[in-house]
Chains A and B, each alone.
Chain A
Amino acid sequence: MKGAFAVDSAFIELDRVEKVFDVHRKTGFMRRELRRVRAVDSISFTVARGEMVGYIGPNGAGKSTTIKMLTGILTPSGGRLRVAGIDPSRERTRLAHRIGVVFGQRTTLWWDLPLLDSYRLMHRMYRIPDARYRENLDRLVELLELGDLLDVPVRQLSLGQRMRGDIVAALLHDPEVLYLDEPTIGLDVVSKGKVREFLRELNAEHGTTVLLTTHDLQDIEQLCSRVMVIDHGRLMYDGPLTGLHEVGDSERILVVDLERELPPIEAPAPARVVKVDGPRQWLAFPAAASAAPLVARIAAEYPLVDLSVREPDIEAVIAKMLHSLGDTTDPPSERATA
């Protein structure tokens, strides 16, 4: 019996994993150009059992491609990949019992059937013991507030309802790993909050390992102690979110409303005023630093009425980080004319 149970410290394991797509493009009559897109370029990392990791990067970075390899949908072009000790593309159905997948962009539910029918089918397909199924279904449906929607065909659900329905479907069989590819895409603030709170609880109480991609920095801030950034298929950063701010030199903005119009605040460096508009002033300060001393100082010396702190958005942070790492190259693709 091959190792069905990986060491807990390397529950997900990638060793120089690559995925190359050959893309044919018509460039004229009978002429086709073969372009190799290196969607994932020699990525190595491990994720321990019970970790909750954010996997971020700009559009086309290779996030979804990585997740597809981790589920066995795509076969890597090179490198070694293991999830729970299983080679996903070779033993896809065996791995399926141990993982849950939520694609924000498409549903894994049966489009024309009521939610409950999909769940019943999962119950049998995954051979979930009856008691366990009922327990999980009740708990998940309550937590994600789907009780009234179980009889509604999936195609009639709103995006947020469908997403929650998909999350339930992905968790009925108690997977040890949950992959989420943009689970909050298109959701309103309230729905996002619910999904996040649910994921946090899932990770804390059931020890489920979670790997999620997103373009929403708040997802990462509220959920992940560890974040990986990829760009052009390469892993650019792997560490805590705060470290990302340091590497990227990113800044937060403190917006202060004073009692009246005043000359720019004389803030202690490196904080500085970047904009003044009547009684309102904008100050930039390093994202990794605490806002408290700055606020205290301003409150002590100026007639402060109100204030707020704006977080840098994820794209800006990543852009700065990638820039500071000296990455300004084009996508690494090789061309050959066929």
Chain B
Amino acid sequence: MAETGRVAGRDWAVEKDLGARSSRVVDGLRAYRMITAMWIRSTMAYRASFLMTTFGNFVATALDFVAVLLMFSRVDELGGYTLPQIAFLYGLSSTAFGLADLAVGSMEKLGRRVRDGTLDTLMVRPAPVLAQMAADQFGLRRLGRVTQGVLVLGYALATVDIDWTWAKVLLMPVMLVSGAAIFCAVFVAGASFQFVAQDAAEVQNAFTYGGTTLLQYPPTLFATELVRGVTFVLPLAFVNWVPATYVLGMPLPLGLPGWAAFLPPLVAAACCALAGLAWRAGLRSYRSTGS
């Protein structure tokens, strides 16, 4: 009995070993899917509580747009943009960020796990730590922010004046996906920084939550240096400013040429690659704790 058990165990070991050789990306997505599914199931067990927190999330984020509406009760234009145009910028930024926050927002808790050494437990499991960390405590309530962004974007599309071309239509989904990817990269890069400075969550928030608030307003409101910074250094401008001004038929920020509006996918890919490298370096520097 013990003998057969051992033989079978060994065969399975071969299988396990082969199974463990699939690509990291595939492995990561698989683990991410499984862990988020588990959290969603557990969230849904308390449906009323889920609905309430999601609604709370919706209201809290929608207050930002209420602020914009209040401003427009006094003025007709802000930095040369009308309310529907600003709603367009706002909706894009808010939706892209909301998607990223939903997908990998849990990463910001990395610092705590590094400090107390509980990252150890993720490292002994057969799945990439990045995927496990991103899916940890998956907060479905963050759909509240996404919903809010989508509603504002819907309002903008219904009221704004756009000369639609096929290129502009195509640019809409591309913009949202690339924007979400850029914000994901910022989340991951920020988390990687927390390997070195465990209290850096605040710094990360400045770039994520701060970034999305910035992008909700037109670039013409801000100093050129700041716009340059978020275009060439931390390229958040490619989430909406650059492509959206093109769609709206407004001048692109910094006098960029029209084709720059089609760069977001490339910028997003570059950001994700850099964030991935930062993550690897951070994880390599992890040294656990003494107890």
Residues of A within 8 A of B (CB): 4-5, 21, 60, 64, 68, 71-75, 92-94, 96-99, 101, 103, 105-108, 110, 112-113, 117, 120-121, 124-127, 129, 132, 173-174, 176, 205-207
CA distance A249 to B290 in the complex (A): 32
| B124 and A125 within 8 A (CB) | no
List, sorted by A's number, 13 A–B pairs whose CB atoms are closer than 8 Å: A68-B120, A72-B124, A93-B27, A93-B127, A97-B20, A98-B17, A110-B38, A112-B137, A113-B42, A117-B41, A124-B34, A173-B16, A207-B2
Dominant secondary structure at the A interface: loop
CA distance A37 to B146 in the complex (A): 48
Binds A, one of B5-13, B66-74, B79-87, B198-206: B5-13
Assuming the contacts A4-B17, A97-B16, asked whether A103 and B121 have C-beta atoms less than 8 A apart, the reply is: yes
Assuming the contacts A73-B123, A106-B117, A113-B42, asked whether A68 and B288 have C-beta atoms less than 8 A apart, the reply is: yes
Assuming the contacts A68-B288, A106-B118, A205-B5, asked whether A125 and B12 have C-beta atoms less than 8 A apart, the reply is: no
CA distance A96 to B128 in the complex (A): 11
| A99 and B124 within 8 A (CB) | yes
| A98 and B288 within 8 A (CB) | no
Question: Which of B2, B12, B123, B128 gathers the greatest number of chain A CB atoms within 10 Å?
Answer: B123
Judge whether B126 is part of the interface by a CB distance below 8 angstroms. Answer: yes
| A121 and B38 within 8 A (CB) | yes
With a cutoff of 8 Å between Cβ atoms, the chain A residues found around residue B20 in the complex are 93-94, 96-97
CA distance A167 to B66 in the complex (A): 53
CA distance A124 to B38 in the complex (A): 11
| B13 and A132 within 8 A (CB) | no
How far, in Å, is B199 (CB) from chain A's closest CB?
16
Other-chain contact of A121, B35, B117, B123, B288 (Cβ < 8 Å): B35
Judge whether B21 is part of the interface by a CB distance below 8 angstroms. Answer: yes
CA distance A94 to B42 in the complex (A): 29
With a cutoff of 8 Å between Cβ atoms, the chain A residues found around residue B165 in the complex are none
Assuming the contacts A68-B288, A125-B34, asked whether A94 and B21 have C-beta atoms less than 8 A apart, the reply is: yes
B residues 44-66 in Cβ contact with A at 8 Å: none
Assuming the contacts A4-B17, A129-B12, asked whether A117 and B38 have C-beta atoms less than 8 A apart, the reply is: yes
How far, in Å, is B224 (CB) from chain A's closest CB?
37
How far, in Å, is B84 (CB) from chain A's closest CB?
43
Q: Kindly report which residue of chain B lies nearest to residue A122, judged by CB atoms.
A: B125
How far, in Å, is A57 (CB) from chain B's closest CB?
14
With a cutoff of 8 Å between Cβ atoms, the chain A residues found around residue B280 in the complex are none
Q: Kindly report which residue of chain A lies nearest to residue B116, judged by CB atoms.
A: A106
Residues of B within 8 A of A (CB): 2, 5-6, 9, 12-14, 16-17, 19-21, 24, 27, 31, 34-35, 38, 41-42, 117-118, 120-121, 123-128, 137, 284, 286-288, 290-291
CA distance A117 to B39 in the complex (A): 10
With a cutoff of 8 Å between Cβ atoms, the chain B residues found around residue A127 in the complex are 16, 19
> Which 6 pairs show the lowest CB-CB distances between chains A and B?
A96-B126, A97-B16, A94-B20, A108-B121, A101-B124, A73-B123
| B291 and A105 within 8 A (CB) | yes
Q: Kindly report which residue of chain A lies nearest to residue B285, judged by CB atoms.
A: A75
Q: Kindly report which residue of chain B lies nearest to residue A94, judged by CB atoms.
A: B20
| B9 and A125 within 8 A (CB) | no
How far, in Å, is B261 (CB) from chain A's closest CB?
40
| A174 and B124 within 8 A (CB) | no
| B16 and A207 within 8 A (CB) | no
Assuming the contacts A97-B17, A121-B35, asked whether A106 and B121 have C-beta atoms less than 8 A apart, the reply is: yes
| B125 and A125 within 8 A (CB) | yes
With a cutoff of 8 Å between Cβ atoms, the chain B residues found around residue A21 in the complex are 287
Q: Kindly report which residue of chain B lies nearest to residue A59, judged by CB atoms.
A: B291
CA distance A132 to B118 in the complex (A): 29
CA distance A174 to B27 in the complex (A): 20
Assuming the contacts A73-B123, A106-B118, A129-B12, asked whether A93 and B291 have C-beta atoms less than 8 A apart, the reply is: no
| B16 and A98 within 8 A (CB) | yes
CA distance A243 to B56 in the complex (A): 66
CA distance A17 to B16 in the complex (A): 28
How far, in Å, is A174 (CB) from chain B's closest CB?
5
Assuming the contacts A68-B288, A75-B284, A174-B12, asked whether A125 and B126 have C-beta atoms less than 8 A apart, the reply is: yes
CA distance A71 to B284 in the complex (A): 14
| B288 and A74 within 8 A (CB) | yes
CA distance A121 to B137 in the complex (A): 14
| A207 and B6 within 8 A (CB) | yes
With a cutoff of 8 Å between Cβ atoms, the chain B residues found around residue A117 in the complex are 38, 41-42
Q: Kindly report which residue of chain A lies nearest to residue B35, judged by CB atoms.
A: A121
With a cutoff of 8 Å between Cβ atoms, the chain B residues found around residue A121 in the complex are 34-35, 38
With a cutoff of 8 Å between Cβ atoms, the chain B residues found around residue A74 in the complex are 287-288
CA distance A105 to B27 in the complex (A): 29
Assuming the contacts A117-B42, A125-B34, asked whether A71 and B123 have C-beta atoms less than 8 A apart, the reply is: yes
| A107 and B121 within 8 A (CB) | yes
CA distance A75 to B287 in the complex (A): 8
With a cutoff of 8 Å between Cβ atoms, the chain B residues found around residue A96 in the complex are 20, 124-126
How far, in Å, is B289 (CB) from chain A's closest CB?
9
With a cutoff of 8 Å between Cβ atoms, the chain A residues found around residue B12 in the complex are 129, 132, 174
CA distance A318 to B286 in the complex (A): 32
